[in-house]
Structure 1
């Protein structure tokens, strides 16, 4: 039951990114003119020749929010009912998907009411990869031990990961800026765009990616030289492979003029990118009981034991 709830939550959090991408790439952002009803006095969409499939694409994205809510509630239930031995920290973390989904839904309402203003569309997207990251930590925590949290890699690896995660979030932010300056506004009509040169935005995004890759390479060197735990190495190498693939897709979409299918693949990569960063972070610590006193996996000072 716990595994179903936590895996389902992570997959649904990734899924809402893809359904949101479908809304944007099909120009269905204003397929429903109001919120929470699709049209005034009409909760569900109706097919018309003028609107086509746009109301159904937009309403489908809203419906998936309901699925997210169900899984978020399930995560909360299992964390309190069956996973109490994971400690108070785990139970507090279990609130994040539900709170984040509620904030996401409210922000989505303002996005519609303000006609897809980019100042709201970008934060609306960024909430989702953050929730993917928290959901991944919950999942890793499920399969780890039940003891006090301890450092599982050298301190310099922890410092590198913190910098890596910060730059990774900047990469995501700049990615939304690139989208906000590009052709995929989210609606077929006139929509406010970010007043920035798309080429400049793309180059800034690429520079952030290069910095991220440099930090990831440094982290891999430190992990190998310190003979870090296998779990941390596996997660870091998966992140490296995913980052490389995401970079290839990014260059392809740029040189092909941002075709919808390639942009969609890039957004799939963004969901996996955020989750994989969190996977690496969760593997730099462990909740397993130490094999013997005095190991190099020192207890984290100032961190709540459970």
Structure 2
């Protein structure tokens, strides 16, 4: 019996670590997926498919089927249900990370205070997203609320990506790049925020407002803002190419295989970021010149989430970290 107890103490932290690894990845996937489902609500004109919140209709939690029922209530309600899944995953993640912090024994690295705080952020922001979604319905898709809904999701994707990095590669980060190149990487991170914000405005100025009866939400020139968004993407791509060249020419500090492995990882992620940026730009131009078909706009929204996540992984790869 004592031997069995010692065995359990030795294995339990590793099992918990694997479980958190699964949930932290699931959190990233669900945060990206909720952008897709939210985009489906907007692209199908289902933004007011449910006229109330938290009930779909006054006195009815879910859509009621009848002969005049359209697809809109089910699309909107489906997005709400998936939003509950996002909150549940975020809650499980916060609880498991807190549990791991209290189980400070065994070979598994214990989550730092900073990581534990970051692990709570998805839960807090996801709950705030649910409330904001209700306000969006109550205020009949006010453009500021709709835009904020998407931008908070982008922030959640960024946080989720960093949680993945922080869990699988814990430890104090050590830069593997010269300082100017390292700063350039963070400039790219800031610029991707500009790209996403301008993209949100472009979508809000176009025909996909989320309501069949309203053709736009932001009263700005859609052509002018689309060109501004395109310019920001070209600037991002130009700086990214410079960054990739500098990264491939930089020599990591000679202190063993840790920095060398980090340098190889950074080169790979930087190339992935180039590929995602080019694909996202291609989809953007095709959708613009083909009249903004719903499928391409939806893919563009997915691409925005992937661009944010890939940028986060690339920036994190600029520093060498331990391996769990």
Is TM (by shorter chain) over 0.5?
A: yes
> Residue by residue, what CA displacement relative to the aligned partner does 1:252-306 show, whole Å, maximum 9, x if unpaired?
10010000111111111111011111111111123329xxxxxxxxxxxxxxxxx
What corresponds to 2:132 in structure 1? 107
Shift of 1:164: 0.7
1:253 pairs, out of 278, 283, 287, with: 287
Shift of 1:207: 0.5
Q: Does 1:216 align with 2:250?
A: no
How far apart, in 2, do the equivalents of 1:237 and 1:25 lie? 31
How far apart, in 2, do the equivalents of 1:47 and 1:19 lie? 21
Structure 1: gaps (5+ residues):
290-306
Q: Does 1:35 align with 2:53?
A: yes
Structure 2: gaps (5+ residues):
1-18, 105-109, 253-262
Question: 1:50-69 counterparts in 2 under 5 A?
Answer: 50-69=68-87
Greater gyration radius: 2
3-state SS of 2:194 partner: helix
> Residue by residue, what CA displacement relative to the aligned partner does 1:148-197 show, whole Å, maximum 9, x if unpaired?
23223221122111211111111111111111111111011237621111
How far apart, in 2, do the equivalents of 1:230 and 1:280 lie? 11
Q: Does 1:271 align with 2:302?
A: no
How far apart, in 1, do the equivalents of 2:231 and 2:66 lie? 45
Higher helix share: 2
Q: Does 1:232 align with 2:299?
A: no
What corresponds to 2:191 in structure 1? 167
Shift of 1:68: 0.6
How far apart, in 2, do the equivalents of 1:188 and 1:182 lie? 12
2:277 pairs, out of 243, 249, 253, with: 243
How far apart, in 2, do the equivalents of 1:157 and 1:99 lie? 34
> Residue by residue, what CA displacement relative to the aligned partner does 1:75-110 show, whole Å, maximum 9, x if unpaired?
112212236613111111101111110111111111
What corresponds to 2:11 in structure 1? none
Q: Does 1:178 align with 2:202?
A: yes
Q: Does 1:18 align with 2:36?
A: yes
Q: 2:207–2:216: 8 Å Cα contact kept in structure 1?
A: no
Highest relative contact order (Cα 8 Å, sep 6+), 1 or 2? Answer: 1
Q: 1:177–1:201: 8 Å Cα contact kept in structure 2?
A: yes
3-state SS of 1:94 partner: helix
Question: 1:82-231 counterparts in 2 under 5 A?
Answer: 82=100, 85-145=110-170, 147-190=171-214, 193-228=217-252, 229-231=263-265
1:45 pairs, out of 33, 48, 63, with: 63
Shift of 1:34: 1.1
Q: 1:117–1:192: 8 Å Cα contact kept in structure 2?
A: no
3-state SS of 2:64 partner: coil
CA-atom RMSD in angstroms: 1.5
How far apart, in 2, do the equivalents of 1:80 and 1:185 lie? 40
Detail structure 1 runs of 4+ shifted over 4 Å in the superposition.
Answer: none
Shift of 1:3: 1.6
* Pair 1:107–1:191, CA change in 2 (3 A): farther
Q: 1:253–1:259: 8 Å Cα contact kept in structure 2?
A: yes
